[in-house]
Amino acid sequence: MYKKTVLKNGLRVISHNMPQRQTVSLGIWFGVGGRYESKNNKGIAHFLEHMVFKGSKKYSNRQIKESLEGVGGNLNGFTSEEMTCYLVKIPAQYLKLALDVLSDMAINPLLKPQDIEKERTVIAEEIRMYKDMPAHLVQDRLDELMWPNHPLGLNIAGTEESVSRITKADISNFKNYYYTPANIVVAACGNLKHEKLVEASKSIFNGSAQDKDLSFKEIVISQDKPQVSLFSKDTEQTHVSIGFHSLKRGSPDRHVLGLLNVILGANMSSRLFNEVREKRGLVYAISSFVRRFHDAGAFTIHAGTDNKKFIEVIKVIITELNKIKKSKPTSSELKRAKEYYIGQLTIELEDTLDHMIWIGESTMALDKTYTYGQILDQIKKINLDDILRISDKIFKNQNINLAVVGQGVDRSKKNIQEIFKLD
């Protein structure tokens, strides 16, 4: 069972004791990410994430790495649209050390001007790198289509222009505003005692409760027709991403959507993989995936194919979407999808790091964490009609967005528009 404690200042501590493990994974989560930004400071949450590794009041840049890696730990961090996390997986006896280092680098980063300028250059290179990768570029183009004039439609790292404008004062003010106890979750899984984690967290995160507006710009979906973004680039392959507005993170149908994703494109036995790669040989890789946010979501299909075959790939994908809208999957198909979905969850929750990310993200985003047993009960109740209902809800003609990156694709707009006939 998960244990959760909420301190007087609002800080949440959640843990799962896994006594059979010899490791522990710790994450310090902050309820802020890319969608809390504006066009002017886009990328600041990601910039701050980079900066905390450069040194803190107690630990230099080198000491941060050596203190944890020197005892076998793996240190990392990431920024998403709605949260930021600093994490470490380490032998269980070093949990206190991990908490001390992670907390100090996150709460007390030095933010030296020379480090900021150096990291500004590094981030600019990161942005250029992803622009040179068509698989990433096509996703950025799709996001712009789906969420125009909104932070969700912009890359987490920002643009070279926005990153160039961010100052030390901007970063410091951003950190001070969002990195406060009521906006923090400390999550840990492994061989640990919850009470000791709470006591250590209480002495470290001892700031007072603060009443702040931590809201973000809400999503308003106004799309009423198919949208297309074609970007010509000299590439060996043409990359296609098709996106549909979908279910938000806390939707009661989230597991129905998860099973629909498995049936369509989440693995090598899925319909899209079988039809587009195995039967027709049009691609090396094709997949679908689900993205969930507080008030929005996306169902996305991505494929890379020969520059001359991408129109055919799009046609086959649309045909498969029409099929799953019109008729239920078979009972055996749904059974296999459930077994895969449950199996992947089982594998994930065996690892202390994946399990920590599971409970940390859920606590930060929903302020609740479902047990393995509760999820199994929810999945067992899903039937064929549920899959058909969600397919029909999402795969509508007016809800389709298509981004294509490849050689000379801008000459194919008319041909592409004729394909969009989702019944």
Residue % of the chain over a pLDDT of 90: 95
pLDDT bracket for residue 208 (50, 70, 90): confident
Q: Calculate mean pLDDT across residues 336-341.
A: 98
Token pair belonging to 215: 């809201």
Q: Calculate mean pLDDT across residues 370-386.
A: 97
Q: What is the pTM of this model?
A: 0.96
Q: What pLDDT is recorded for position 368?
A: 94
415: left (phi over 0), alpha (psi -120 to 50) or beta: alpha
Where are the chain's structural domains?
3-204, 227-417
pLDDT in tens, 254-312: 999 999 999 999 999 999 999 999 999 999 999 999 999 999 999 999 999 999 999 99
Pick from 16-25, 203-212, 282-291, 311-320: least confident? 203-212
- Which helix (DSSP H) or strand (DSSP E) does residue 199 occupy? helix 194-204
- How many other C-beta atoms can be found within 10 angstroms of the C-beta atom of residue 421? 9
* Strand extents, DSSP E, 237-294: 237-245, 283-292
Cα dist from 89 to 28, 193, 393, 403, whole Å: 12, 16, 40, 37
Q: What pLDDT is recorded for position 356?
A: 98
pLDDT bracket for residue 422 (50, 70, 90): low
User: According to the CATH classification, is domain 227-417 in 3.30.830.10?
Assistant: yes
Cα dist from 315 to 43, 44, 244, 276, 421, whole Å: 36, 40, 16, 10, 10
List phi, psi (to 5°) of 217: -70, 120
> What does the DSSP 8-state code read for residue 133?
-
Q: What pLDDT is recorded for position 15?
A: 98
**What's the CA gap between 29 and 279, in Å, rounded?**
44
Look up residue 51 and give its amino acid.
M
Kindly tell me if the per-residue pLDDT of 239 is higher than 70.
Answer: yes
pLDDT in tens, 160-178: 999 999 999 999 999 999 9
Look up residue 42 and give its amino acid.
K
pLDDT bracket for residue 423 (50, 70, 90): low
pLDDT in tens, 38-97: 989 999 999 999 999 999 999 999 999 999 999 999 999 999 999 999 999 999 999 999
Q: What pLDDT is recorded for position 101?
A: 98
The reply to whether 227-417 shares the fold of 3-204 is: yes
Task: Tokens 């590439």: give the residue.
Answer: 235
User: According to the CATH classification, is domain 3-204 in 3.30.830.10?
Assistant: yes
List phi, psi (to 5°) of 111: 55, 50
pLDDT bracket for residue 417 (50, 70, 90): confident
pLDDT in tens, 351-366: 999 999 999 999 999 9
Residues 265 and 178: beta-carbon distance below 8 Å: no
pLDDT in tens, 89-145: 999 999 999 999 999 999 999 999 999 999 999 999 999 999 999 999 999 999 999
